Chain A
């Protein structure tokens, strides 16, 4: 599904390398977690994969189902099946959540040569998906993320994921700013979307999210590289001993 080889990335504006030869392969239907201390390059990885401006790939490759991602525009990557759940979802005043969802969904369908969804079909679909995430009709009518609580914003991200049905989902610190109940709701939403055709890359500081979204593989990232890979038990090790021991061991 997702294949990253020897990825080197620096900031466009300055000569500061952030990713320094990252290798990662996520198979179809797998859930991988990436953990690591602040500044290890986790968020950069998510931005580079989704095509945000400001980064320069100096070496390496990244592909989704064999298609190279790095030359694509962000919207092309989305249409190809990539989705990034933001750590800080953006507020867009004056644009209704429904309008946003419908515009995004139809733009992707159009890009894939599929017919646009009618207003009625869209409404039916969004109501059904929203209900599962306990998102009420009022929240759908409001402008995108405006006045949403931290938990509502993250649930809105998962709703977008559910509507857009991507094959590769990247969750960037989705647990940040969430209380236990909100985290559980978000995790339930993600788990409901797990399938043999859909993969996840869950980026997180803490092990607690991984109690709810149980990964198949856990990677530890430090200084722009994956330094250790293991099963879910690796996350527990981080929880108990912190990153220092693992990093010392890896070096």
Chain B
């Protein structure tokens, strides 16, 4: 009872510190989310899904300070592509660093902060809805907080095959920034969209993205979370897929004192396909590192396919967490569910905590899961060195080899190549540094 009171107190304090926008069309959703948050309260270490990750820095009423990145400034990832750019600096839209207009055939883009001055918007049928649905059976308090408090975001509607990707660039410029962004993406029947996200965003970043893919729609998502050592991030993707829809999401994370990426995906139309993948590189030498992937995939319809592929390379006391679940509902026959989580520990100080779960209520399904933890393969290392490749460089090649399966989940080979090149550069610089 006392714990509940303490939790309620902390939640009230957190809410009091928020600058809650009143909202136009989102007002009812924001109000509902706020009462959800009050009811469930902020998480604690005793909560089943927070046992491995301490939510304290996310619970704190004000964002913990995060130093700005001081390393080598790299060219903008995906920067050479013809794309539509929307830049947010510490959560604030920056028109000067964004595309002058967002006009592309088959695409409607508006900003939440602007659209929310009106009482009507197509996103009314999406904002906060998938988030609310995703609160059961597992509570996700920071997502409810986000729906209530989001100051901006992007509302994207694809009505055809969009020829240029939409690129959300997140810049971190203020050591105390606390950004809350909420995006809604609707991919209409038969439409196709690629969404790119890069950058650390803020000292503390809370982001929710709701993605609704209608029948036969295709959605590709590639994200790189920036290299700031001390930023903290809690992100959620809530996705709902119609019949024969495709959803593919890949995330690259390097550095970050705390990163928790949740993906809540529901396959609600027959024959839908959802792949979610992540590659994380953590080095505890530049400060604590904790990277948490928490995934919940629900099969509601027949003949759907889901894949979860998560790889983490950890060293110097870095911690990796994976909590992945596949829930197959009654009637979701011919489900093909796959889940793999693997860690490569480069020393004995690092650790990987994995909790794979399967819950199946249909009798004609194929579901598999696996989780492994291992060190560098000494035979492979010797093979490379015997060809003249120095030890450190050989180790980098084996790290790339380890991450390859996750990167292969990116459908576009050009995007794949850019991710690999970026990784190669990081690894090369680490060897020199």
Contact check, A95 vs B397: say whether CB atoms are below 8 A apart. yes
Known: A75-B391, A160-B387. A94 touches B402 (CB 8 A): yes
Q: How many residues of B contact A (CB 8 A)?
A: 26
Q: Which residues of A contact B391 (CB under 8 A)?
A: 73, 75
Q: Chain B interface: which of A22-30, A83-91, A182-190, A204-212?
A: A83-91
Q: Chain B residues with Cβ under 8 A from A177's Cβ? A: none
Q: Is B6 located at the chain interface by the 8 A CB criterion?
A: no
Of A46-54, A113-121, A129-137, the stretch lying at the interface with chain B is A46-54
Asked whether B393 lies within 8 Å of A107 as measured between CB atoms, the reply is yes
**How near does chain B come to A119, taking the closest CB pair, in angstroms?**
13
Given contacts A100-B397, A103-B397, contact A92 B388 (CB under 8 A): no
Closest Cβ of chain B to A227, distance in Å, is 28
Instruction: Determine which residue in B388, B393, B400, B401 has the highest number of CB atoms from chain A within 10 A of its CB, and name it.
Output: B388
Question: Does A75 contact B401, Cβ atoms closer than 8 Å?
Answer: no
User: Closest A-chain residue to B379, C-beta based?
Assistant: A90
- Residue A64 at the B interface, CB < 8 A? no
B95 contacts the other chain (CB 8 A):
no
14 additional A-B pairs beyond A84-B386, A92-B397, A108-B388, beta carbons within 8 Å, are: A73-B385, A73-B390, A73-B391, A75-B394, A89-B383, A92-B398, A95-B398, A100-B384, A103-B393, A104-B387, A107-B388, A111-B388, A143-B401, A164-B387
- A residues within 8 A CB of B408? 94
* B389 interfacial by beta-carbon distance below 8 Å: yes
> Can you list 27 contacts pairing A with B, beta carbon distance less than 8 Å?
A50-B386, A52-B386, A75-B386, A75-B388, A75-B390, A75-B394, A78-B385, A83-B386, A89-B383, A90-B379, A90-B380, A92-B380, A92-B383, A92-B398, A93-B405, A94-B408, A95-B397, A99-B397, A103-B389, A107-B387, A107-B388, A107-B393, A108-B388, A111-B390, A143-B401, A160-B387, A164-B387
Q: Is the CB of A94 within 8 A of B404?
A: yes
Q: Count A/B pairs, Cβ under 8 Å.
A: 84
**Bound-complex Cα distance A161 to B407 (A):** 31
B384 contact set on A, CB distance < 8 A: 92, 100, 104
A89, B403: Cα distance in complex, Å: 21
Given the known A-B contacts A52-B382, A74-B382, A90-B380, are A107 and B390 also in contact in the complex, defined by CB atoms under 8 Å?
A: yes
Question: Which of chain B's residues has its CB closest to A52's CB?
Answer: B382
Interface of B is mostly: helix
Give B108 Cβ to nearest chain A Cβ, in Å.
Answer: 38
Answer whether residue B4 sits at the interface, using C-beta atoms and an 8 A cutoff: no
Cα distance, A87 to B398, chains bound together (Å): 21
List residues of chain A with CB within 8 A of the CB of B389. Answer: 75, 103-104, 107
Q: Is residue A158 within 8 Å, beta carbon to beta carbon, of the partner chain?
A: no
A99 to B394, CA, bound (A): 12
Using Cβ atoms and an 8 Å threshold, which residues of chain B touch A160?
Answer: 387
Query: Is A79 located at the chain interface by the 8 A CB criterion?
Result: yes
B405 touching A75 by the CB < 8 A rule?
no
B378 within 8 A of A: yes
Once the chains are docked, how many angstroms separate the CA of A163 from the CA of B97? 47
A111→B385 CA distance, assembly (Å): 13
B388 touches A90 (CB 8 A): no
In the bound assembly, the distance between CA atoms of A108 and B394 in angstroms comes to 13
Q: Which of B385, B393, B402 has the most CB of A within 10 A?
A: B385
Q: Which residues of A contact B403 (CB under 8 A)?
A: 94
Q: How far is the CB of B340 from chain A (nearest CB, A)?
A: 13
Pick the most buried of B377, B387, B397: most chain A CB atoms within 10 A of its CB: B387
CB-defined contacts of B382 to chain A, threshold 8 Å = 51-53, 74
Ranked nearest first, the 6 interchain pairs of A and B with the lowest CB-CB distance are A94-B404, A78-B388, A108-B388, A104-B387, A74-B385, A90-B383
Q: Mark A166-192, 1 if CB is under 8 A from B, else 0.
A: 000000000000000000000000000
Using Cβ atoms and an 8 Å threshold, which residues of chain A touch B387?
Answer: 78, 83, 100, 104, 107, 160, 164
Residue-wise, chain A 58-101 has the 8 Å CB interface mask toward B (1 for contact) of 00000000000000011101110001101001101111000110
CA distance A188 to B167 in the complex (A): 54
Cα A250 to Cα B63 in complex, Å, equals: 81
